[in-house]
């Protein structure tokens, strides 16, 4: 094979590889962390609602459903760890600065989620949920 026949294909192959790396890098390092952060926030919202329902005082004679309560505690702890790990290890630094400008503080929310998992009083749980919502700028 002559070099003159292969020569036109070299820039084509390089450009195809460059486009593939650019697309993969954009999706992997720019878009996926944003999608994952939003998914974690949605999980936190649903977890807090579930926890608050498990702590809610229905009747004075009824006792709390202990299985739902334990699942709520474990869910809050898991979400707290997931949020803290994601913010410190996976999220890009440029997005951390955007979150600070927006007034979102995921580390504070993780601390309050841990505190939420330790509370069994409805009023205390509601206070912690408001702090988490304020730290993540939810509603």
> Domain residues of the chain, as ranges?
33-136
pTM of the model: 0.74
Provide the pLDDT for residue 139: 72
Provide the pLDDT for residue 64: 53
Whether residue 125 contacts residue 116, with contact meaning beta carbons closer than 8 Å, is answered with yes
Whether residue 132 contacts residue 44, with contact meaning beta carbons closer than 8 Å, is answered with yes
pLDDT digits (tens, 9 = 90+) for 78-127: 999 999 999 999 888 888 999 999 999 999 999 999 988 888 777 888 89
pLDDT digits (tens, 9 = 90+) for 15-36: 888 887 777 777 777 788 889 9
Could you tell me where the DSSP H helices lie in the chain? 3-6, 9-26, 32-55, 66-85, 93-102, 106-117, 122-136
* Residue with the larger pLDDT of the pair 66 and 49: 49
């Amino acid at each position: 094979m002559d070099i003159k026949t292969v020569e036109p294909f070299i820039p084509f192959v390089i450009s195809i590889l460059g486009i593939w790396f650019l697309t993969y890098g954009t999706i992997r390092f720019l878009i996926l962390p944003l999608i994952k952060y939003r998914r974690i926030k949605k999980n936190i919202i649903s977890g807090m609602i579930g926890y608050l329902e498990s702590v809610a005082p229905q009747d004075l004679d009824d006792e709390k459903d202990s299985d739902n309560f334990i699942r709520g505690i474990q869910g809050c702890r898991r979400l707290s760890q997931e949020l803290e790990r994601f913010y410190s290890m996976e999220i890009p630094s440029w997005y951390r600065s955007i979150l600070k400008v927006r007034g979102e503080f995921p580390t504070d929310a993780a601390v309050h989620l841990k505190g939420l998992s330790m509370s069994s009083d409805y009023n205390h749980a509601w206070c912690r949920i408001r702090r988490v919502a304020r730290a993540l700028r939810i509603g």
